[in-house]
Every structure is written in C-alpha cells, then in structure tokens.
C-alpha cells in the first residue's frame, strides 16, 4: 500500500514537472517563430545589399546592428512603447535578456578569402534554482532544434548562425550567369564607366518580335581607294569575315586624267588568306580624247561584316 502511494506520488510529481515544461515551451514557441522571421529578414537584407553591388561573401551584406534592420525589415519598437508593453524590441527574449548580433569572418580552408556569417547570440535564463533550471531545460529543448544553432555552456547562450544566402536566393537579386529563368525587369544602366565585354553575340528585338544579331552586323565602315589592302577582321565563332564594297565617287586625281565620259564601272575586293585588295575599274573618255581607257581614280565605300 505504502509502495503504491509512493509510486503514485512520484508519477504525479513527474507529470506536474512535465506539464510545467510544456507550458514554458508553449510560451517559447512564438519566440522560436519570431527567430525564424528574423533570419528570413536578414536574408532579405542580404538580397538587397547584393543587388546594390556588394559581393555575397563580404561583411557589407550583413547588418551591423538591430537598428540596420528597422523599419525596412523588422518593425520599430520605441523604448517608451516597449516599457508600456505595446511592443517587443526585435532583440528581446521572453525571459528578459537581449540578443546580440556579430559578423564573423569564417573562411573555408584552405582558402583565406573572407567569407562572412552573422552570429546571433541568445543569452539563456540563469539556472540557479530548481525553478530556473526547469525553465532553462524547457527553453533549451525548444530552441536547440533551430537550424544552424549550437549551445555554449560557458556563456550560457545559444548561438544561431545565419550563413550567406545560397546561390539560388542570390539569383533572385542578380541576373543568373546561366541566363536560365532570368529576366531583366528594367533598363540595365552600367553608369557610363563600364562596358559589356567578351560576349559571343547580342541580339536586338525587331518590331515584329524577331531577333537581329549584332554579331552579324557591320564591324567597320570606311572609304578606300583602288589597290588598297584591307586586313581581315575577327568575327565571333561560326561567323565569317566578309566585305561589301560600292562606288562612293569617281573623279580625276590629277589634271592629266580629267574625265569627260564614264562607262562600265565596278568595284570589287580580291580575297587573300589574311586580307582583301580593293578594286575600282571603269572605262572613261578623258578630255581631249575619244579613246576609252581603263581608269581607277575615285573612292570606294567599304563595309566589313561578319556573316553566317
């Protein structure tokens, strides 16, 4: 009989203790959810910083203090409103301590390239009595399940690590290097001090929706003369350098060749392995003569292109 009562008493005491732990954990759960929200907003801060041009691994993509996240990412709570119980500061814990944030440089060995992470330190309630030890146990059981967290007994704190956002999230802020599922939502202004270089090709949308390749357009336009040598230019892969020539003007280059009448004119470019030689041929009757002679005086319009 006495043994039975003792066992029953122990069961009741255990149930009461467990019930108290569950009540404390129920109070900590909203804080757990708030911590999830904070880490998401830190990631949003990272995205905006990366979109402004900061490298993803730099310290600048993380906030320096809780105030950096307010009010754009976390709601403001003034000291007056906080004291009046109208709101809770983002860094406050349910047991009255304040969370701390620190940017930590954690290079990945063997690299020494800076790679920053954000450390959020959550000081736990002191375990100086049976009641506070129970509270400490309940809080630890709940918060230790938070991803990226570790408990440090020496400081009686839980450390939550917010790493740099992964490449998938980074690409929400940047145009993907692959171009897959990545669309500019506005004009891309490089500020006038930079260029877009090393592109295989660029296409421009025509009025009917078709695309025109810039790579197959004119590389250079100039004016040349008969027998002038023009070096072949370079083109993107799968495109061939080519030249288009036409008559710009025909005129006598000296008084001895003053032209009276012109007939049968043509321009051409004779191809060699590394260059073209421009040609301008026409037959003309010079002043004071009725004989048709082959002449080459004049100017040639030349256009260097890349063609398929």
Q: How confident is the model over 189-226, as pLDDT tens digits? A: 777 787 788 877 788 777 777 777 777 776 789 999 99
Q: Which of 3-7, 256-260, 267-271 has the lowest mean pLDDT?
A: 3-7
Where do the domains of the chain lie?
A: 2-73+89-167, 218-307
* 2 has a pLDDT exceeding 60: no
| Range of weakest confidence among 15-19, 46-50, 96-100 | 15-19
Residue 176, pLDDT above cutoff 60: no
Most confident of 101-110, 125-134, 199-208: 101-110
- pTM, rounded to two decimals: 0.52
Share of the chain above pLDDT 70, in %: 82
pLDDT at 175: 58
Mean pLDDT on 13-39: 71
Computed over every residue of the chain, the mean pLDDT equals: 82
Burial class (CB in 10 A: 0-12, 13-18, 19+), 283: middle
Contact 216, 239 (CB under 8 A): yes
- The 3 state secondary structure assigned to the chain is CHHHHHHHHHHHHHHHHHHHHHHHHHHHHHHHHHHHHHHHHHHHHHHHHHHCCCCCCCHHHCCCCHHHHCCCCCCCCCHHHHHCCCCCCCCECCCCCECEEEEEECCCCCCCCCCEEEEEEEECCCCCCHHHHHHHHHHHHHHCCCCCEEEECCCCEEEEEECCCCHHHHHHHCCCCCCCCCCCCCCCCCCCCCCCCCCCCCEEECCCCCEEECCCCEEEEEEECCCCEEECCCCCCCCEEEEEEEEEECCCCCHHHCEEEEEEEEEEEEECCCEEEEEEEEEEEECCCCCEEEECCCEEEEEEEEEC
Task: Report, as an integer, the average pLDDT of 249-275.
Answer: 85
Q: How does residue 14 score in pLDDT terms, banded at 50, 70 and 90?
A: very low
- For residue 33, the Cα-to-chain-centroid distance in whole angstroms is 30
> 174 pLDDT exceeds 70?
no
What local confidence, expressed as pLDDT, does residue 25 receive?
60
Q: How confident is the model at residue 5 (pLDDT cuts 50, 70, 90)?
A: very low
Six token digits for residue 73: 């990412």
- What average pLDDT does range 60-73 have in this prediction? 94
């Amino acid at each position: 009989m006495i043994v039975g009562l003792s066992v029953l008493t122990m069961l009741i005491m255990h149930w009461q203790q467990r019930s108290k732990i569950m009540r404390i954990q129920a109070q900590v759960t909203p804080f757990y959810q708030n911590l999830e929200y904070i880490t998401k907003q830190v990631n949003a801060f990272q995205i905006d910083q990366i979109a402004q041009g900061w490298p993803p691994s730099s310290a600048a993509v993380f906030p320096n203090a809780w105030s950096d996240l307010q009010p754009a990412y976390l709601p403001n709570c003034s000291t007056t409103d906080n004291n009046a119980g109208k709101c809770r500061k983002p860094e406050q814990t349910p047991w009255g301590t304040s969370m701390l944030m620190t940017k930590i440089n954690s290079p990945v060995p063997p690299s020494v390239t800076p790679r920053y992470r954000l450390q959020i330190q959550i000081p736990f309630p002191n375990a100086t009595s049976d009641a506070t030890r129970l509270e400490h146990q309940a809080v630890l059981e709940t918060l230790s399940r938070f991803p990226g967290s570790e408990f440090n007994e020496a400081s009686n704190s839980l450390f939550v690590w917010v790493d740099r956002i992964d490449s998938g999230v980074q690409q929400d802020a940047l145009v993907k290097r692959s171009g897959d599922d990545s669309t500019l939502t506005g004009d891309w202004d490089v500020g006038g001090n930079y260029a877009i270089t090393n592109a295989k090709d660029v296409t421009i949308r025509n009025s009917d929706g078709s695309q025109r390749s810039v790579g197959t357009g004119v590389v250079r336009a100039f004016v040349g003369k008969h027998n002038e040598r023009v070096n072949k230019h370079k083109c993107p892969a799968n495109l061939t350098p080519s030249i288009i020539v036409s008559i710009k003007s025909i005129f006598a280059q000296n008084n001895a060749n003053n032209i009276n009448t012109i007939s049968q004119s043509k321009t051409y470019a004779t191809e060699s392995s590394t260059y073209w030689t421009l040609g301008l041929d026409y037959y003309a009757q010079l002043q004071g003569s009725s004989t048709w002679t082959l002449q080459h005086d004049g100017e040639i319009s030349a256009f260097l292109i890349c063609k398929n």
